[in-house]
Amino acid sequence: MAIVKMSNFSLFAFDSERENLLHELQKFEYVHFLNLDEDESLKNEGLKNVKAPEHLVAIGEEISKVKYTIDLLSKYYIGDTGIKAMQKGKESFNFVELEERVSSIDYLPIYNQLRELNTKKEALNQEVAKLNTSIDELTPWVKLNTSIKNLNSFEQSEVNMGTIPKKLREKLEKELLETQYTYFESLSEDKDNLYILTLSAKSEAEIVMDILRNNSFSKSKLNAEGKPKEEILQLNEKIKALENEIKSYEQEIVGLSNNLPKLEITYDYLMNQKLRIVASEKFLMTESVNVIKGYIPTNKVNDFNETVKLALNNVYYLELKEAEKDDSNVPILLENSKFVKSFESLTGMYALPRYNEVDPTPFLAPFYLAFFGMMAADIGYGVIMLIGTLVALKTFNLSESTKQFIKFFYYLSYSVIIWGFLYGSFFGGIISLPGLFNPAEDYNSLLVLSIIFGLIHIFFALGIKAYMNIRDGKILDALFDVGFWYMALIGGIVYLLSVVITLPAIAKTISLVVMILGMVGIVATGGRDANSIGGKLGGGIYSLYGISSYVGDFVSYSRLMALGLSGGFIAGAINMMAGMVAKKGIIGIIGAVIIFIVGQVFNIGLSILGAYVHTIRLTFVEFFGKFYEGGGKGFNSFRSKPKYINLK
């Protein structure tokens, strides 16, 4: 249960064997390559970058074709949905099985056929769009009961068709009344405009056009010859014929949609193939030899040796040694028990540990479990969590990350149930159960218990810091940064307790002495890194001022009591409302059931969310703040994260 020990390697291999080497290392998986392009010392010795632009372009084109095919077929593929889809889940392969499966898949004929079908279909869709545009242009003129061709063939008169703003109608009509040989008609209107027609003698044509221009006239040019209504009918017939043709192409595409699963497998394989090419650009080379550096887990050194030996036919030079503890380049891989592993996402959310730190996950897990349960405490809520997570884990074929997330809440459900029994709470007291605490009356006891949990949590964090210092041979640092704080805090707490409750006089005296010695020690050593005496003293006083933050930390743990009580009180209020409504007969009983179910579901979500967020806060701020910095780089396994399959 710790950070996986790493070994760094330097490998020299012939460039001609690079592709086979990368292929075998991808099967091996646990290789983290260093980007040697950033190592100026090696480049100054004459080494140059490995370039594979042609290969990268080629694989990029293949991926693009497969992705195009997947995106197109996804629109027509009818697969399992809902619970059935979750039960089936993604197919699982190891790398050898994946290669064997992909070797039997020829996607190019499918791609070419789909490309041709879709190109034809899209061309028809564009034609339909053009026809619909023509219909939209003609629709406002549908009342025109004469052919457009006739309107454009008059010799002694001139026709103007177009739009004006609706607000200018009266003004236009008034101005046109002054003409003698002009006919005006409004054929239709939309939100803003009128669609108008004017018919005027040639002698008045210029006058009418000036009037129209002064009224924001916009001329319409219709690409048609017949009557608008007849033209629209003809266009609709063309659209119908085109849509039937489009459907025939879609039916052909649907017939190919059963190829989607194997294309998805091909995509994930090609992404791994691309990763091999991209990884090679992290290497340096001479004329014929590749220089490769990176890290592997120490417990896999023998397997790594065998993999390299097999790939390179025993013609290579390999140097392996354990990584140095303070090497900032060492990638981080965590290895924990099944229980602790489900809490690793919390550590990753904050920051991975550095190689010279400890993995905080095993230490945060039991505290997180206890605190979450205390905040969400209810037997009914815990049972729902337990049943829901168990069903999901046993029934559904989940990805590894989703499975760990579900397991996380599975473990937390037990804590919620246990605290529910301690509080005697079953759906907020719908069934009266005896408990160790009565939240409505024992809130002071729960507050004290919360603060005690906070003391244990913080003192444990300080203990981890002391352990890290002692492990690194910094025994005095452990005394200065932890020992004196233990003395100051424990002495201060006992001394304050002696003021509140009756304790033996000797206890009060000893606690006062211990507290003062601890404070003096903090002042004397807190600024020890400063160069001047004044700096050391100032740093020490500032360090002692940090005791105020501890007070704030202890108070923060009151949220353990507060959230537990709030969830219980809300659940109780829901039950009370349901009970009042239930007295109104059959309809009241139905209403009470609805209120109970909806209210309790809402409160479950609220309680779980509140417990999740606030326990994270206590972990990241109060706990990690005492010993943990983080900042480690994650171990990049030599595998592309699959999108459509599970890769073992």
Instruction: Quick: pLDDT tens for 226-248.
Output: 899 999 999 999 999 999 999 99
Instruction: Find the mean pLDDT for residues 156-180.
Output: 90
> What whole-number percentage of the chain has pLDDT above 70?
100
CA distance 152 to 595: 72
CA distance 230 to 223: 13
Helix (H) or strand (E) run with residue 186 in it: strand 182-189
| Average pLDDT for the chain | 90
Measured between alpha carbons, how far apart are the two ends of the chain, in Å?
22
Q: How many CA atoms lie within 13 A of 551 on its CB side?
A: 7
C-alpha dihedral (144, 145, 148, 152), degrees to nearest 10: -90
Question: 587-622, pLDDT tens digit by residue?
Answer: 888 988 999 999 999 999 999 999 999 999 999 999
Q: Any idea which of 52-56, 217-221, 286-290, 626-630 has the lowest mean pLDDT?
A: 52-56
Residue 90 has pLDDT above 90, yes or no: no
Residue 506 has pLDDT above 80, yes or no: yes
Residues 6+ positions from 253 with CB-CB distance below 8 Å: 72, 73, 76, 114, 117, 118, 121
Assess contact for 554 and 455: CB atoms under 8 A. yes
CA distance 406 to 423: 26
C-alpha dihedral (521, 523, 525, 529), degrees to nearest 10: 170
Question: 419-470, pLDDT tens digit by residue?
Answer: 999 999 999 888 888 888 888 788 888 998 999 999 999 999 999 999 999 9
Assess contact for 610 and 567: CB atoms under 8 A. yes
Question: 300-317, pLDDT tens digit by residue?
Answer: 999 999 999 999 988 999
Q: How many CA atoms lie within 13 A of 222 on its CB side?
A: 30
Q: What is the pLDDT of residue 1?
A: 57
- pTM here is 0.84
Q: What is the pLDDT of residue 466?
A: 94
Q: What is the pLDDT of residue 317?
A: 94
CA distance 1 to 95: 27
Label residue 533 by pLDDT band (50, 70, 90): confident
Token pair of 633 as six digits: 């780089």
Domain boundaries of the chain, sorted by first residue: 146-226, 361-626
CA distance 52 to 61: 14
Residues 6+ positions from 618 with CB-CB distance below 8 Å: 371, 457, 556, 557, 559, 560
Q: What are phi and psi of 627, to 5 degrees?
A: -145, -15
Label residue 23 by pLDDT band (50, 70, 90): very high
Q: What is the pLDDT of residue 409?
A: 96
Assess contact for 33 and 282: CB atoms under 8 A. yes
The CATH class that applies to domain 146-226 reads alpha beta
User: In b/e form, how buried is each residue of 634-644, taking b as 16+ CB within 10 angstroms?
Assistant: ebeebbbebeb
Q: What is the pLDDT of residue 148?
A: 85
Report helix, strand or coil for 528: coil
- Amino acid identity of residue 512, one-letter, is L
Residue with the bigger pLDDT between 387 and 146: it is 387
Label residue 546 by pLDDT band (50, 70, 90): confident
CA distance 591 to 32: 60
Q: What is the pLDDT of residue 261?
A: 92
User: In b/e form, how buried is each residue of 390-409, taking b as 16+ CB within 10 angstroms?
Assistant: eebeeebebeeeebbbbbbb
Instruction: Find the mean pLDDT for residues 175-202.
Output: 90
Q: What is the pLDDT of residue 618?
A: 95
Assess contact for 292 and 11: CB atoms under 8 A. yes
